[in-house]
């Protein structure tokens, strides 16, 4: 195996949507960095069975504004 080709593997902190935190090992960032999750198994519809609209960055509002007139017939 070649030496010095693998990324640094270290501990990082994960903070879930409900505020719970745990440590795991990853190649992301530097040792001790924190990753805050927007979607996790406690809030994702695939695991909860409930639909929830999360508008991150105004994408839903932008879509609604762009396509507001489609489907409306003027007679």
Assess whether pLDDT exceeds 80 at residue 56: no
Domain boundaries, the chain: 1-37, 41-68
Tell me, what DSSP letter sits at residue 39? S
Distance CA 20, CA 14 (A): 8
Per-residue pLDDT reduced to its tens digit, 14-33: 998 888 999 999 999 999 99
Distance CA 18, CA 21 (A): 9
Pairing state between β 10-15 and 21-26: antiparallel
Mean pLDDT along residues 9-17: 92
Query: What sign has the CA pseudo-torsion 61, 34, 30, 5?
Result: negative
């Amino acid at each position: 195996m070649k030496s010095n080709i693998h990324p640094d593997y270290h501990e990082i902190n994960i903070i879930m949507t409900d505020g719970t935190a745990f440590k795991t090992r990853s190649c992301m960032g530097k040792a001790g960095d924190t990753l805050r999750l927007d979607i996790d198994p406690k809030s994702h519809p695939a695991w909860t069975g409930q639909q929830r609209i999360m508008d991150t960055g105004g994408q839903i509002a932008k879509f609604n504004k762009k396509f507001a007139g489609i489907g409306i017939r003027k007679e």
